[in-house]
Amino acid sequence: MFRLGVMSPKKEEFPALTRGTMTVGEYRDKFLQLSRYRPEEVNTDPKKQYRFLKGLVDPLGYRLMNHTFPNRQHPIDRAIVTENTRREMEEKKRKREGTTV
C-alpha cells in the first residue's frame, strides 16, 4: 500500500492544495494524485466536486461553485474549457493592442 513516511506529508498536502499558477489540467492531475491519501474527503461525487472547485480559488472557481454538476468530471471539463477560452481572449486582446499601438 503506502509507505508511512511518504503517506504523512502527502496526506497533509491535500487539504492545502490550490491551483495557484498551475493550469486546470495540472491542478486536476495533482488533485487526483493527492486525493488518494485522503479518501475520506473524496469518497462521494459531491465531496470530490466541492474539494476540486474549492481548490481553484480564483474567479474561475467562484463561478463554477454556483453550479450543480451531474458528476465529478463535468466541473473539471467546464474549468478547462473556461480556462482555454479566457486564454484565447487574452491572446486576441494582446494581439489587437499590439497592432493598434
Span 16-34, pLDDT tens digits: 999 999 999 999 999 999 9
Cβ atoms of residues 34 and 10 within 8 Å:
yes
pTM: 0.74
Cβ atoms of residues 51 and 27 within 8 Å:
no
The highest-confidence range among 6-10, 77-81, 94-98, by mean pLDDT, is 77-81
Burial class (CB in 10 A: 0-12, 13-18, 19+), 98: exposed
Long-range contacts of 85-92 (CB under 8 A, 24+ apart): 86/60
Whole-angstrom Cα distance, residue 58 to residue 44?
A: 24
Q: How many helices (H) and strands (E) does the chain have?
A: 5, 0
What would the grid cell of residue 16 be? 492545502
Long-range contacts of 87-92 (CB under 8 A, 24+ apart): none
Span 39-65, pLDDT tens digits: 999 999 999 999 999 999 888 777 888
Report the range of poorest mean pLDDT among 54-58, 80-84, 85-89.
Answer: 54-58
